[in-house]
Copies of this chain bind each other. A is one copy, B any other.
Amino acid sequence: MAESEKEAALPPKEEFSDWYNELLWMAEIMDVRYPVKGLYVWYPFGFAIRRSTYSIIRELLDNSGHQETLFPLLIPENEFMKEAEHIKGFEDEVYWVTHGGKDPLDVPLALRPTSETAIYPMYKIWVRSHADFPLKLYQVVNTFRYETKHTRPLIRLREITSFKEAHTVHATWEDAEAQVKEAVELYTEIYRRLAVPILRSRRPDWDKFPGADYTDAIDAMMPDGKTLQVGTCHHLGDNFAKTFDITYEDTDGEQRYAHQTCYGISERCIAATLSIHGDDKGLVLPPEIAPVQVVIIPIIFKKGAEEVLAACKDVQARLRKAGVRVEIDASDLRPGAKYYRWEMKGVPLRLEIGPRDLENNVAVAVRRDSGEKEQIPLPEIEAGVLSRFEAIHESLYEKAKAGLESRIFACSDLEEVKEKIQKGVATIPWCGKRDCGLAMEDKIGAGILGIPLEQEGNSKEKCPICGEETGTRVYVARTY
């Protein structure tokens, strides 16, 4: 699609916002020209990344006892309005269907902003006994938010196209708590597979999911030092169970309210992956999610062209057999133009094969992440490629992890916090009292991201507002 238009240079990654927008366009991830604000179109190349990313998510969910299901998009107003706190959190953002054909509907229908109120009336019917637990279902769906803020592809959307939401039911509060922990570990593992290091923290009470007892969240750090919330895990207590009358018969024959959790992840996982690994030349993709994992560039001279092409096709066939997604670029472009094109698309490994390489029985492998050039003997091409995929993945993760850690700043006062959050995440002691937290946020001009799930030590530090001693440091960050 109009490749020729896309030969302009990408802005440097330092200018993150411009870089991001141009990258999504030049690498053919999303097209922003759909005629409604906040709704975007997935290019096939972007969608191929979406497919492999969500395969990972499904695999990890399936392997941990979750089952996929699908509930309707449309939620009748009366169900949607049942849970008072929940609705307060969403009512300004809900799209309403009011007409079918030319007729007004008897009951307006909400486009789900999230599916608690679609799913829990069914859970009321389905859940009968303690023997039904744990019930662990998930779906991957489109959800809708009438965003009034600035929208941005993959990050802030009116149609979230790829919302994976899990909804679990348990007997006790403690069982649900354990499930939230499992979910946090699961999400950590998902991001590990995307080579994305993350922060794990409990949101302050005023920032939790509407209707939840608490919210544990996963954040990634974007290149500009702002954090992007890329996963949330909510302990719902028995709040929704009481509203939707979800009860079970316990071992002693008593009817009790169930306890629930829900946790979600959206295409923000792709935004984080692309943003963290990409560079001035374009995408840098972890091999597992790259639509094209290897591109073979035949280096053609007049003499020996046929042999080179035949060798390239042989390598392609062998790699395909080994499960590698591999293309040959035999187009008429200069090698430089080919490199530009495939670097922009983030292809993890480029193999160059020319007459001299054939003489030496090797291919020259060039890593997208590091630019490193190495020879791989052709008889060992499969193992050589697969082992480099692992090395690339690990190297992407380690580099991103070092980058994240170098931008977490332990601060001792609020002035320092204000300065450091321009570059990354600050930590600061907090006594845990709501008033102190809100006062800090007010003074800093940015929010408390959360209380890290892993606290480093037991230092007796002081809350910068009330001076009370505390062993807790919290993350403070500018956020998307």
Q: Which residue of B lies closest to A135 (CB)?
A: B1
A35 touches B121 (CB 8 A): yes
What 0/1 pattern do residues 90 to 131 of A give for CB contact below 8 A with B?
011111111111100001010100000010011001101000
B41 touches A71 (CB 8 A): yes
Q: Taking the complex as formed, is A11 at the interface, i.e. its CB lies under 8 A from any CB of chain B?
A: no
Which of the 9-residue segments A72-80, A210-218, A308-316, A356-364 touches chain B?
A: A72-80
Q: Taking the complex as formed, is A154 at the interface, i.e. its CB lies under 8 A from any CB of chain B?
A: no
Collect the chain B residues with CB atoms within 8 Å of residue A126's CB: 1-2
Collect the chain B residues with CB atoms within 8 Å of residue A40's CB: 72
Which of the 9-residue segments A42-50, A228-236, A280-288 touches chain B?
A: A42-50
B98 touches A99 (CB 8 A): yes
**A2-B128, A97-B95, A111-B97 known; A142 vs B43 contact (CB < 8 Å):** no
Collect the chain B residues with CB atoms within 8 Å of residue A132's CB: 1-2
Q: Taking the complex as formed, is A395 at the interface, i.e. its CB lies under 8 A from any CB of chain B?
A: no
B100 touches A95 (CB 8 A): yes
The distance from the CB of A341 to the nearest CB of chain B, in whole angstroms, is: 16
B41 touches A69 (CB 8 A): yes
Give the dominant DSSP class at A's interface: mixed
Which has the most chain B C-beta neighbours within 10 Å: A43, A101, A125, A159? A101
Interface residues on A, range: 35 or more
Which residues, 10 to 52 on A, are CB-close (under 8 Å) to B? 31, 33-36, 39-44, 47-48, 50-51
Bound complex: CA A94 to CA B100 (Å): 6
Q: Taking the complex as formed, is A243 at the interface, i.e. its CB lies under 8 A from any CB of chain B?
A: no
B97 touches A102 (CB 8 A): no
**A101-B146, A125-B33, A146-B100 known; A44 vs B67 contact (CB < 8 Å):** yes
Bound complex: CA A39 to CA B161 (Å): 20
Q: Taking the complex as formed, is A8 at the interface, i.e. its CB lies under 8 A from any CB of chain B?
A: no
Bound complex: CA A385 to CA B219 (Å): 47
A41 touches B122 (CB 8 A): yes
Q: Which residue of B lies closest to A43 (CB)?
A: B69
Bound complex: CA A120 to CA B48 (Å): 21
Q: Taking the complex as formed, is A404 at the interface, i.e. its CB lies under 8 A from any CB of chain B?
A: no
Q: Taking the complex as formed, is A68 at the interface, i.e. its CB lies under 8 A from any CB of chain B?
A: yes
Which residues, 47 to 69 on A, are CB-close (under 8 Å) to B? 47-48, 50-51, 67-69
Collect the chain B residues with CB atoms within 8 Å of residue A96's CB: 97-100
B95 touches A70 (CB 8 A): no
Q: Taking the complex as formed, is A137 at the interface, i.e. its CB lies under 8 A from any CB of chain B?
A: yes
B91 touches A41 (CB 8 A): no
Bound complex: CA A92 to CA B103 (Å): 9
B72 touches A44 (CB 8 A): no
What 0/1 pattern do residues 141 to 169 of A give for CB contact below 8 A with B?
01010100000000000110100000000
Q: Which residue of B lies closest to A162 (CB)?
A: B70
Bound complex: CA A79 to CA B36 (Å): 10
Bound complex: CA A268 to CA B30 (Å): 31
Collect the chain B residues with CB atoms within 8 Å of residue A122's CB: 31, 33-34, 41
Q: Which 5 interchain pairs have the tightest Cβ spacing?
A: A100-B146, A44-B67, A39-B72, A42-B70, A92-B101
Query: Can you report 13 A-B residue pairs in the complex whose CB atoms are below 8 A from each other?
Result: A34-B71, A34-B122, A36-B72, A39-B72, A44-B68, A44-B137, A47-B68, A70-B161, A73-B144, A74-B95, A92-B101, A94-B100, A95-B100
What residues make up the interface of A, taking CB atoms closer than 8 Å to B? 1-2, 31, 33-36, 39-44, 47-48, 50-51, 67-74, 76, 79, 91-102, 107, 109, 111, 118, 121-122, 125-126, 128, 132, 135, 137, 142, 144, 146, 158-159, 161
